[in-house]
Chain A
């Protein structure tokens, strides 16, 4: 009687790198490839988010397609012939990594350095980085207008860090514009829509309305954007401060799963602890209650245990 509906899905047969592979209808090429234990780099893809296929680092070749296709978004089809590592694919990955590394600070993007090496990307060949923008300058850029410069320096997104609240910082010099924070804050999960992509082209950026400081924006400090940010552009203030002081040390950290103490929803928390202090809080992406999301209490409420002795 306790019938939980199940959707039956068909099996699709396709060829990946010469191997015949069976995947479920509705799966993406990426899922099918990962099942083979083959690595495809991804940046804008997130397992809990609608694919936006914007970063283009996961491109693969599909026979019959004029251009490469994003493996993170394209669904498998029967008889598809996929190549994940041919020259075209490697070239486009190299270039995407070069484009990103020459315009964005990838120092806290996991795997970036390894991929750059693996694909032979040379971000330096575009010349020295142009001087960083002044605070607010990129936020005022008008669509369809730019200063071309003389080409001797490579344009970047470098700009001062935005620190306008006690919970988290926004360092958009590290932002690859993967849209994940926008999706997490928006329709995929939080539905607060405090941030969106503004501007256009190279001046496109993540912004609140008129670049309002976060405390004046719709932000509710759920930190669901931080949770999905793949680059460290969005970072717990606690982590940022420790990093700044040279004390951030993941080797010394433990991660423990527990349940949020605030309301009755039962969100699973992963407490990241360094030296008996909670330094950040995440939630498992595959947990059926949270899908990796929390509210401000779960995400930042840990301060109350740590404040105890001071009270």
Chain B
């Protein structure tokens, strides 16, 4: 979000806000403890709006549930934006001072009248209007989202459309107002923080564009770093298809099962020249591997850190001895480095962390003892006096503005890939009305629910989700 990728707010702010929008998120079930914070806010009087094609258990708490047609999120957001602008409820002063691209954005949403919005989303115009006004008028407001927004082919547009709303009303960068993606799996945030994404070095430093940062890493590691973005998962599979990718090292992922098209994934993985899988289970992917490296369970058999959805870096600790030949991931990687002729120079997680702190400014102040003492620290935390950052982008409210302005992005509603027919929609609704049902995502199933971890765990509930 205009820079580093992470939720802008603290969980506590959700308790102290006036309006909460859960957009494409059934936090009640997927993030139950986050939802505790939502409910604190609700009991304190906050209005809850839930946007979701299904009337989920989260939606059942809502003052307004908006059961939009699948994939019409941009259409709804743009309609809300146009209504806010036409009602004169946008924050002119904030827009002028802290953003760019408003005129173009406003022109772009002009076509999204309430009537048009109703046509696109299926939500009655007056409800959209009501929610638009409520969001704009709220003193403080939060938008939170999960898979419903990000597990779409147009995920990026969806997120941008939500950011536009926050910029329009100045609902970001202040205590109680913000934009929060809720991470579906443990440490998705931490993976990004640590540079386990194709285009970033640790601390969200751009691999291609940030020469200074790259040089810093090259100097510290004594190796040259290719100034080129890597492949993300989809691209990797495409590369396998082309034969450009022949060796793969998989750590703690199970693409043979979690990919949408499992048959294709299976074939491609089987066709690799060399597949190494490091996992705590013998997963379906591991069964295809040439080499399996049994890992310890990182959350209870190893030391380290993870980062949660409020950017809080937290310590994980070893409570159990791992079974059999399983080893800590960090030991395996260090050992692998050594055998490949590059001794890492560290052997414990704290060593690795200390190195990270010297290279990633946003983590610089987070020593292990401080993480322990403060119950985790929210990045950025630039030095050892810094208590961390409960919320981001406070700079947008500085006068004059600090740093670059936040850009609006004109995005449009694209037709969804798998449009639901009227029929299937009606059936789905009928079933929903009949009572609480297991949630059947129409998109590729959340990987969390196919992971070996989840299938190893039986919910004791007799029925229902």
* Chain A contacts to B: CB under 8 angstroms: 1-5, 165-167, 187, 189-191, 215-216, 219-222, 254, 256-269, 271, 273, 276-278, 284, 286-291, 293-298, 300-305, 307-309, 311
Verify A289–B460 contact, CB threshold 8 A: no
Q: Nearest chain-A residue to B12 (Cβ)?
A: A288
Nearest Cβ on chain B to A218's Cβ, whole angstroms: 10
- Per a CB cutoff under 8 Å, which of A221, A273, A311 touches B281? A311
Write out the residue numbers on chain B whose beta carbons fall within 8 Å of the beta carbon of A259.
Answer: 186, 299, 306, 308, 314-316
Asked if B462 is an interface residue, CB under 8 A from chain A, the answer is yes
- Per a CB cutoff under 8 Å, which of A219, A257, A264, A288 touches B185? A264
Nearest Cβ on chain B to A216's Cβ, whole angstroms: 6
Asked if B97 is an interface residue, CB under 8 A from chain A, the answer is no
A259-B454 Cα distance, complex, nearest whole Å = 16
Known contacts A166-B460, A258-B317, A294-B33; A265 and B306 CB within 8 A of each other = no
A269-B307 Cα distance, complex, nearest whole Å = 15
Main secondary structure of the interface of B (DSSP, over half): loop
Write out the residue numbers on chain B whose beta carbons fall within 8 Å of the beta carbon of A303.
Answer: 456-458
Asked if B336 is an interface residue, CB under 8 A from chain A, the answer is no
Verify A1–B394 contact, CB threshold 8 A: yes
Q: Nearest chain-A residue to B459 (Cβ)?
A: A296
Known contacts A264-B189, A278-B320; A189 and B306 CB within 8 A of each other = no
Nearest Cβ on chain B to A258's Cβ, whole angstroms: 5
Write out the residue numbers on chain B whose beta carbons fall within 8 Å of the beta carbon of A305.
Answer: 280, 297, 300-301, 320
Q: State the interface size on chain B (CB cutoff 8 A).
A: 64
Q: Nearest chain-A residue to B61 (Cβ)?
A: A191
Write out the residue numbers on chain A whose beta carbons fall within 8 Å of the beta carbon of B454.
Answer: 262
Given known contacts A2-B391, A215-B460, A293-B33, what 10 new A-B pairs fall within 8 Å (CB)? A4-B390, A166-B460, A215-B462, A256-B300, A258-B317, A264-B187, A266-B309, A268-B314, A295-B33, A309-B323
* B448-465 contact mask (Cβ, 8 Å, vs A): 1 or 0: 100001101111111000
A298-B457 Cα distance, complex, nearest whole Å = 11
A4-B140 Cα distance, complex, nearest whole Å = 13
Q: Nearest chain-A residue to B309 (Cβ)?
A: A264
Known contacts A165-B460, A273-B320, A297-B457; A3 and B175 CB within 8 A of each other = yes
- Per a CB cutoff under 8 Å, which of B189, B297, B394, B460 touches A300? B460
A297-B315 Cα distance, complex, nearest whole Å = 19
Q: Nearest chain-B residue to A301 (Cβ)?
A: B457
Verify B183–A271 contact, CB threshold 8 A: no
Verify A221–B31 contact, CB threshold 8 A: no
A222-B33 Cα distance, complex, nearest whole Å = 10
Known contacts A167-B460, A220-B461, A293-B36; A257 and B317 CB within 8 A of each other = yes
Q: Which of B181-222 contact A (CB under 8 A)?
A: 182-189
Verify A265–B33 contact, CB threshold 8 A: yes
A190-B32 Cα distance, complex, nearest whole Å = 8
* B386-411 contact mask (Cβ, 8 Å, vs A): 1 or 0: 00011100110110001000000000
Nearest Cβ on chain B to A139's Cβ, whole angstroms: 19
A294-B376 Cα distance, complex, nearest whole Å = 17
Verify B461–A3 contact, CB threshold 8 A: no
Asked if B11 is an interface residue, CB under 8 A from chain A, the answer is yes
Known contacts A261-B297, A264-B185; A1 and B31 CB within 8 A of each other = no
Write out the residue numbers on chain B whose beta carbons fall within 8 Å of the beta carbon of A165.
Answer: 460
Nearest Cβ on chain B to A264's Cβ, whole angstroms: 3
Write out the residue numbers on chain B whose beta carbons fall within 8 Å of the beta carbon of A271.
Answer: 300, 319-320
A265-B407 Cα distance, complex, nearest whole Å = 28
Write out the residue numbers on chain B whose beta carbons fall within 8 Å of the beta carbon of A267.
Answer: 33
Known contacts A2-B389, A2-B394, A187-B43; A265 and B31 CB within 8 A of each other = yes
Nearest Cβ on chain A to B251's Cβ, whole angstroms: 14
Verify A276–B462 contact, CB threshold 8 A: no
* B18-50 contact mask (Cβ, 8 Å, vs A): 1 or 0: 000000000000111110100100010000000
Q: Which of B408-465 contact A (CB under 8 A)?
A: 448, 453-454, 456-462
Q: Which of B133-148 contact A (CB under 8 A)?
A: none
Contacts A/B (CB < 8 Å), 14 sampled: A2-B394, A4-B390, A220-B461, A221-B459, A257-B315, A261-B186, A266-B186, A266-B312, A267-B33, A277-B320, A289-B312, A295-B33, A296-B459, A301-B457
Q: Which 5 A-B pairs have the closest CB atoms?
A: A266-B308, A264-B183, A1-B394, A256-B319, A295-B32
Verify B32–A222 contact, CB threshold 8 A: yes
Nearest Cβ on chain B to A229's Cβ, whole angstroms: 18
Write out the residue numbers on chain A whose beta carbons fall within 8 Å of the beta carbon of B274.
Answer: none
Q: Nearest chain-A residue to B16 (Cβ)?
A: A5
Q: Nearest chain-A residue to B388 (Cβ)?
A: A2
Nearest Cβ on chain A to B250's Cβ, whole angstroms: 18
Write out the residue numbers on chain A whose beta carbons fall within 8 Å of the beta carbon of B395.
Answer: 1
Write out the residue numbers on chain B whose beta carbons fall within 8 Å of the beta carbon of A278.
Answer: 300, 319-320
A5-B140 Cα distance, complex, nearest whole Å = 13
Among A216, A264, A267, A278: residue with most chain B CB under 10 A: A264
A309-B325 Cα distance, complex, nearest whole Å = 12
Asked if B121 is an interface residue, CB under 8 A from chain A, the answer is no
Q: Nearest chain-A residue to B303 (Cβ)?
A: A258
Known contacts A221-B461, A289-B11; A262 and B453 CB within 8 A of each other = yes
Verify A276–B320 contact, CB threshold 8 A: yes
Verify B319–A273 contact, CB threshold 8 A: yes
Verify B189–A1 contact, CB threshold 8 A: no
Write out the residue numbers on chain B whose beta carbons fall within 8 Å of the beta carbon of A222.
Answer: 32
Write out the residue numbers on chain B whose beta carbons fall within 8 Å of the beta carbon of A269.
Answer: 299
